[in-house]
Structure 1
Amino acid sequence: MNPDIGHDSPHPAPRALEAAFVTELAAVRPGLSGAYADALPPARAAVLGRLWRALLYEPLPGVAVRDGRRGGAGLRDGRVLSGPPRLPHDIGTPEDRPTVRLDGRAYAHPAELLAAIGMPGAAGLTAELDHSVASLALSLAGAADAGVVGTGEADRSLAYFEQSVIDGHPYHPCCRSRPGFSVADQLAYGPEHRPVVGVDLVAVPADRCRVAGKWPARLRDGDRLLLPVHPWQSRQVLPGLGHQPFAAGAIRARPLMSVRTFAPLAGGPHLKTALTMRMTSQVRDISAGGVTNSAPLSALLSDVVGRLDGRLGITRNLAAASAVVDGAPSADLAALLRESPSDAARLRAGETVVPVAALTARPADGGPPLIRSLLAAAEARWNTVDWLASFARSLLPPMLRLLSWGVALAAHGQNLLVVLDEEARPCRFVYRDLADVRVSPARLAHHGFTVPPLGGKVIGDDPALLRGKLFGHLIGTILGSLVSALAEGDRNTETRLWAAVAAAARRAYDDLPATGENRADRAALFGAELPVKALTLMRLEGTPPGDLWASLPNPLA
């Protein structure tokens, strides 16, 4: 524990990693040093707020009693945590500088607090919190330095909106943890720094690749496939696999929110590359199953979504490939070519496609979330409740109908994009990253769909898992973060916003057949509790692999 943190001094001394970042920053970008120092307190506060939410709502070991509305928790050993009241959907504001007290002692650094709690299996998570704070401070400083590039149409490009998301997942305390990236790497590859990255190409004989779909001629060299590879992966991982770039920096592209997916400057499909490091909860490689499933899953979902009313589209997987290393497809040397959301959205004049995460993101100067700026620019044509009601009426019917048919989309802020017209009206939606969906062969077959051979975790008939996949992301993340961003802490406004969402959900279910499955799905959506991923619990050592869940009070109940 840091001895400089006392009862009346919640301002922590610099942690070792923060100091290391300061030293490296002085060498590679000295002009950012002052901004980085200024960004450390808000970065600590943002990550602490996410950790405090987890302590109040997730089933973490050693926490016996939780009361989010009053801002308190009791540990099994008798110690008491106290801090600001927080509801599960709160995403905080730049003015929020929470202090959490453990038996009266104040903490303002999340890693210091978690270390003091002494939670079982939390050593790795404590280190990740340190990295999340240090990296988020760099993101805040670098984004402010990058500023706004261009005006007019350039500001409405998909890449611009993607790169406007500075602080990552709104509820994950490891929101900016990038433990494999140096400061120089983050400045070179972090989307919030608005770089242009040269994506490498690695040549692999076609007979030593597993391929799904039709690999394009432009990414071939004779009998070899040219696999797009993240330059960090080329430097850190490929030498151990016995490979080196065929063409370094061959494709100029902008990194998108996921860091390892790129939008080529020349247009065309987006490039999803392997990046063998853990960010938030996952190592960002591309599994053999993901390559194998990519084409048949894309075809299935294109068929299913094509039978909707046009309010939801998907980005198709166009091709995928992985190199065979030591006799098996390598998750570290693989790539997927995915239709651009801008192409999948079939934009009309005046329309813009925006990731929902960008709507709730704040600019580096701490101004209002993008959605509030868009509504203000619409010259009072919308109030917040009417806008969210329109959003929910467009989104919930296709999502709930897909669940009825047997498809549960992981519709969180990165995967779901909304098409807005010139007045910020939600027109329709686009979903991307098909690897994280769940499909029920039984439900799909009942509704006349032929399910191709698919492997891995995408297959499952358990209705609880299907509902958790959809409802946890849709209500717990998408709509929760929008309610928080639109209400800006006004609880009365939040109540009206949730009522608008509930009305849209009831109407969507009224339009579905009253089958037993639909009635059960509806009851779960309006139940007392809502299943959401236990994001912090999943990062503790010794917990089972895969998704773990928390039950939160349901704002639609």
Structure 2
Amino acid sequence: MHSMSRRNFSYEELESEIWEGHPYHPCFKARSGFSLGDHAAYGPEARQSFELQWAAVRREYARIELLEDETSFWERELGPSMFGQLLADLQHIGKTIEEYTFLPIHPWQVKLANADADIVLLGSSGDSYRSTQSVRTLWNMTNPEKAHVKLSMNMVNTSSLRTLDTHAVCAAPHISKWIADTVEGDPFLKDEASLVILKEYAGISYHPEEEEPCAKFGAIWRESIRLYMEEDEAAVPCTALPLMERDGFPFIDEWLKRYGIEKWLKRLVEVCVVPVWHLLAAHGIAVEAHAQNMILLHKDGWPTRVALRDFHDSVEYCHDFLEEPNRIPEFAGIHEQFKKGREDQYYWMSSIESLRELAMDTLFVFHLSELSYVLEEQYGFSEKRFWKLTGEALTEHLSCYPELIFRNYLLQHTAPVIYAESLLKRKVQKDEAGGFRHYVKNSLR
């Protein structure tokens, strides 16, 4: 039974209770490979909790990317008791920690584990988890301050196969550190915007060579937003902002009535849009800031700051546009797959236009356009006014940083038309020359 309103739900509950998916997507919530039983057991809307399946994998076929000592990592993540139990289980089957490491597997994915000497199932144990909106990313129900765990799943959710590429798993901690260090070194992002970067700080993948670059089994650990929330702050996924509740009013109705639509909207743009654009214009780093990758922090509905996440396969840069190219992770040393990578294949793009496309398509077309539509439909607040305020906020910010005006000019964010991803084509077609994209009118023009 669904509640008439989700407005008072915790952040974690919202991650599971937001059933609408990507509403702008013509095939949102389309999970290929899930049975009715799978939906009931592992779909976020079913509200079921479960333990992770643990396996021992031979180190020869495991890629482990940590920015710390491995034993310290396991003791902190699992706790001494569970880590000790896994070591005992390993010893019981005649294996050693020198030969094997541990890997969590989504219980739905276990059926793909063909037991052999290279991967040995150890059973289900540890904390209880629940699925978030993305299905494959799980939040820790036992202790919400602990990491969200993203696990490889051989299923298609919306348009994408939800496996984890081994090279992306390996790159995740380095990309997170790069972005977090960049924010830390920028006075505006660190002090004024207080931008939060939810770091993907660890990754492990099991990858027999014949299965490169995509592995059936992999995991990424990502920081919980609760590590950054102040005592009087609350958090909501940005996917909640344009949603309608069962009581017939938008999720944000009480906030808009309390502060006024225009005042609240200006603050939202200041908090959510300006830092993302500053990261791009000032540093040359484009992030995929659609609503599912952003978390709004607020105090009684008043936006305070934003958190960004999910960087392992959705960050782009153009070398000539980077402000600090010496900060780029040494991708060729992280994974051999990157050594043969071409421009526009992984993270490095051939043009500044590619960066604009990623940033504007996700943040404006696939995120804020949903909110602008709801404000006009429900309150008569015109979309034209919405985008005028958004453009003015960017202009005002750039006026405070004249050194960014030329760099921002190169981004051409007020071009008459911009590219948007062709989501339906991507769902129903295997390939298309030039990629799945088309032109749309630019509301910031």
Q: TM tier, shorter chain?
A: 0.7 to 0.9
Aligned partners of 1:201 and 1:250 also within 8 Å: no
Give me the whole-angstrom Cα distance separating, in 2, the residues matched to 1:519 and 1:440: 15
Q: Which residue in the other structure is 2:266 paired with?
A: 389
Structure of greater relative contact order (alpha carbons < 8 Å, 6+ residues apart):
2
- Give how far 1:542 is off: 4.4
Q: For residue 355 of structure 2, what is the amino acid of its counterpart? A: L
Q: For residue 354 of structure 2, what is the amino acid of its counterpart? A: L
Give me the whole-angstrom Cα distance separating, in 2, the residues matched to 1:545 and 1:302: 35
Q: For residue 104 of structure 2, what is the amino acid of its counterpart? A: P
- Give how far 1:243 is off: 4.6
Q: Does structure 1 residue 452 correspond to structure 2 residue 335? A: no
**TM alignment of 1:97-496, pairs within 5 A:** 145-147=1-3, 155-213=8-66, 214=68, 215=70, 216-218=73-75, 221-222=86-87, 223=97, 224-235=100-111, 237-239=112-114, 243=119, 245-248=121-124, 250-267=126-143, 268-308=146-186, 309=188, 310=190, 311=193, 312-326=195-209, 331-343=215-227, 346-363=228-245, 365=246, 367-375=248-256, 380-404=257-281, 405-422=283-300, 424-435=301-312, 436-444=314-322, 446-447=323-324, 449-454=326-331, 455=338, 457-488=346-377, 493-496=382-385
> Cα deviation per residue 1:249-290 (whole Å; 9 max; x = unaligned)?
543112111101111123211110001111111101110111
- Count of residue pairs brought into register by the alignment: 398
Give the TM-score normalised by structure 1.
Answer: 0.67
Paired residue secondary structure (2:291): coil
**TM alignment of 1:506-545, pairs within 5 A:** 506-512=395-401, 513-514=403-404, 516-521=406-411, 524-544=412-432
Q: Does structure 1 residue 505 correspond to structure 2 residue 394? A: yes
Q: For residue 286 of structure 2, what is the amino acid of its counterpart? A: A
Aligned sequence identity (%): 25
Give me the whole-angstrom Cα distance separating, in 1, the residues matched to 2:306 and 2:434: 28
**TM alignment of 1:38-57, pairs within 5 A:** none
Give me the whole-angstrom Cα distance separating, in 2, the residues matched to 1:540 and 1:416: 27
Give me the whole-angstrom Cα distance separating, in 2, the residues matched to 1:208 and 1:288: 11
- Give how far 1:325 is off: 2.0
Aligned partners of 1:164 and 1:361 also within 8 Å: no
> Cα deviation per residue 1:332-391 (whole Å; 9 max; x = unaligned)?
111111111222xx211221121110222234x36323122443xxxx331222211111
Give me the whole-angstrom Cα distance separating, in 1, the residues matched to 2:244 and 2:197: 27
Q: Which residue in the other structure is 2:93 paired with?
A: none
Q: For residue 362 of structure 1, what is the amino acid of its counterpart? A: M
Aligned partners of 1:442 and 1:461 also within 8 Å: no
> Cα deviation per residue 1:145-178 (whole Å; 9 max; x = unaligned)?
25489x99xx442211212321211211110111
Aligned partners of 2:61 and 2:209 also within 8 Å: no
Paired residue secondary structure (1:414): helix
Q: Which residue in the other structure is 2:342 paired with?
A: none
Q: Greater Rg, structure 1 or structure 2?
A: 1
Aligned partners of 1:200 and 1:245 also within 8 Å: yes
Cα-Cα RMSD: 2.5
> Cα deviation per residue 1:465-510 (whole Å; 9 max; x = unaligned)?
1000001111112211111222225665322222211211221232
Q: For residue 337 of structure 1, what is the amino acid of its counterpart? A: W
- Give how far 1:430 is off: 0.5
Q: For residue 322 of structure 1, what is the amino acid of its counterpart? A: S
Residues 205 and 146 from structure 1, CA distance in 2 versus in 1: closer, same or farther, beyond 3 angstroms? farther
Aligned partners of 1:146 and 1:194 also within 8 Å: no
Give the TM-score normalised by structure 2.
Answer: 0.82
Residues 332 and 148 from structure 1, CA distance in 2 versus in 1: closer, same or farther, beyond 3 angstroms? farther
Residues 549 and 494 from structure 1, CA distance in 2 versus in 1: closer, same or farther, beyond 3 angstroms? same
Paired residue secondary structure (2:45): helix
Aligned partners of 1:396 and 1:508 also within 8 Å: no
Q: For residue 289 of structure 2, what is the amino acid of its counterpart? A: A
Aligned partners of 2:63 and 2:204 also within 8 Å: yes
Paired residue secondary structure (2:346): helix
- Give how far 1:205 is off: 2.9
> Cα deviation per residue 1:272-330 (whole Å; 9 max; x = unaligned)?
00011111111011101112211221111111122333321211122101113256565
- Give how far 1:518 is off: 1.9
Paired residue secondary structure (2:259): coil
Give me the whole-angstrom Cα distance separating, in 2, the residues matched to 1:228 and 1:413: 27
Give me the whole-angstrom Cα distance separating, in 1, the residues matched to 2:428 and 2:207: 32
Aligned partners of 1:191 and 1:259 also within 8 Å: yes
5+ long unaligned stretches in structure 2: 88-96, 332-337, 339-344
Aligned partners of 1:172 and 1:536 also within 8 Å: yes
> Cα deviation per residue 1:82-137 (whole Å; 9 max; x = unaligned)?
xxxxxxxxxxxxxxxxxxxxxxxxxxxxxxxxxxxxxxxxxxxxxxxxxxxxxxxx
